[in-house]
């Protein structure tokens, strides 16, 4: 069996963890800041939170084209340095315009850094263990999604500055790690030099990664309601215990199932994993929407953790299956653009449902988005079998 756990593989996991802890911590922190300090609506607060993702989306559209021309390590260092400067900027926020501008710029640096790291990992893991390797790597996202919101909720209750100071420290640590990380650069060929001058759609997106990216987009729209509103929702329906333990339950489910799903993709193929996790995601959102007890709310967290929690790793494995090494960055970027777009527009769109129908309707809308993802994937299977193409 080929070696998976190298020094650079572990360092990439640590770097991704730090990046996502800051991301999720500030996601929770800024949503509450916008509502309490600037007296804006839930939907407007969702915009302040989600515009970070829009910045990431914009960056990914560019970085996938120019990463190998600029150099992956150089791109990573530039990204984390600007990211740290933005993190320090949170100490000086005085209004919504400043907040949204800062979030957008930092979102771009997050998009740059996370794309470089994810592409590097997909390049260095052995092909025979790619699903497993990406599965373990994306556990850093899972841990970040648990640790970040927990710190974003708990630290401000002790002292409002603690959350920001921690983000400052983690951002500086990212800079140190970027300098010591060994990243293999890809030599730019003649065809890439020609393609980078073109502005056709296929030069921004990898066509073979587009179908799985659409599935990821729909799943991310649904999950964005969890990421942005689960704390407020649990408080509204009187399930504070379930809300406080939600991300822990979600993360435990991810930690257990995500590595298993990666191994299963390597051994048994994509459909054996994707069909069950998409169906499980639907059940998870329905459970959250109908929750009248802490137990049911936590059941929803576990089901969403098994379902949506497996999409980033399984999706990236599928996205790079049919492309050459020099296209890994474009395929990875295509998937991450979809995830970012869903997480970016989801809070704003679903937030508009709250004043009319309430929070429960938001999570039923999430379930509908997950159902569409499930049906689209089934359509992909039917189409591939008709064309006699192995996905």
Q: Is 107 helix (H, G, I), strand (E, B) or coil?
A: helix
Report which DSSP code applies to 191. H
User: What pLDDT, on the 0 to 100 scale, is given for residue 286?
Assistant: 96
User: What pLDDT, on the 0 to 100 scale, is given for residue 189?
Assistant: 60
For residues 236 and 361, give the distance between their C-alpha atoms in angstroms, rounded to a whole number: 13
Residue with tokens 């980033």: 312
Beta-carbon contacts of residue 266 (< 8 Å; ≥ 6 apart): 128, 129, 130, 131, 132
Q: Is 265 helix (H, G, I), strand (E, B) or coil?
A: helix
Of 109, 122, 222, residue with least CA distance to 174: 109
Angle between helices 311-319 and 328-351 (to 10 degrees): 140
The gap between the terminal CA atoms of the chain, to the nearest Å, is 24
Mean pLDDT by 10 residues, the chain (391 residues): 82 93 86 76 71 83 74 90 94 87 92 88 82 84 80 82 92 94 71 57 75 94 85 86 87 85 84 93 96 95 92 86 74 84 81 84 94 95 74 48
Helix (H) or strand (E) holding 65: helix 42-70
Q: Is 298 helix (H, G, I), strand (E, B) or coil?
A: helix
User: What pLDDT, on the 0 to 100 scale, is given for residue 21?
Assistant: 93
User: What pLDDT, on the 0 to 100 scale, is given for residue 371?
Assistant: 97
Using CA atoms, how far residue 146 sits from 11, 113, 142, in Å, is 20, 20, 6
Helix (H) or strand (E) holding 8: helix 7-37
For residues 365 and 353, give the distance between their C-alpha atoms in angstroms, rounded to a whole number: 9
b/e for 205-235, b at 16 or more Cβ within 10 A?
Answer: bbebbbbbbbbbbbbbbbbbbbbbbbbbbbe
User: What pLDDT, on the 0 to 100 scale, is given for residue 200?
Assistant: 61
């Amino acid at each position: 069996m080929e070696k998976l756990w190298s020094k650079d593989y572990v360092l990439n996991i640590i770097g991704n963890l730090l990046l996502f802890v800051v991301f999720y911590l500030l996601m929770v922190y800024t949503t509450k800041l916008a509502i309490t300090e600037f007296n804006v609506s839930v939907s407007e607060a969702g915009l302040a939170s989600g515009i970070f993702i829009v910045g990431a989306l914009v960056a990914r559209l560019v970085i996938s084209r120019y990463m190998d021309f600029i150099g992956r390590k150089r791109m990573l260092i530039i990204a984390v340095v600007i990211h740290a400067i933005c993190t320090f900027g949170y100490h000086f926020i005085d209004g919504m315009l400043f907040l949204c501008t800062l979030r957008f710029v930092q979102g771009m640096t997050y998009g740059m850094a996370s794309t470089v790291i994810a592409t590097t990992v997909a390049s260095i893991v052995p092909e025979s263990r790619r699903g497993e390797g990406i599965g373990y790597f994306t556990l850093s996202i899972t841990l970040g999604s648990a640790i970040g919101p927990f710190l974003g909720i708990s630290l401000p209750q002790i002292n409002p500055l603690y959350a920001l100071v921690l983000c400052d420290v983690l951002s500086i640590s990212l800079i140190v790690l970027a300098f010591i990380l060994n990243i293999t650069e890809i030599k730019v060929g003649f065809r890439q030099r020609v393609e980078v001058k073109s502005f056709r759609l296929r030069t921004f997106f990898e066509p073979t990664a587009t179908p799985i990216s659409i599935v990821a987009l729909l799943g991310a729209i649904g999950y964005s309601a969890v990421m942005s509103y689960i704390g407020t929702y649990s408080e509204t329906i009187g399930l504070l215990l379930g809300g406080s333990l939600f991300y822990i339950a979600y993360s435990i489910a991810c930690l257990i199932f995500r590595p298993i799903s990666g191994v299963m993709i390597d051994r048994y193929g994509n459909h054996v994993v994707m069909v069950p996790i998409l169906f499980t995601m639907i059940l998870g959102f329905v459970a959250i929407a109908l929750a009248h007890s802490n137990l049911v709310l936590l059941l929803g967290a576990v089901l969403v953790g098994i379902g949506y929690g497996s999409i980033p790793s399984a999706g990236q494995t599928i996205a790079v299956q049919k492309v050459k090494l020099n296209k890994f960055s474009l395929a990875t970027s295509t998937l991450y653009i979809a995830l970012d777009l869903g997480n970016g527009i989801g809070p704003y769109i679903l937030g508009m449902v709250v004043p009319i129908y309430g929070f429960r309707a938001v999570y039923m809308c999430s379930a509908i988005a997950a159902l569409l993802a499930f049906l689209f994937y089934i359509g992909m299977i039917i189409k591939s079998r008709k064309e006699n193409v192995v996905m």
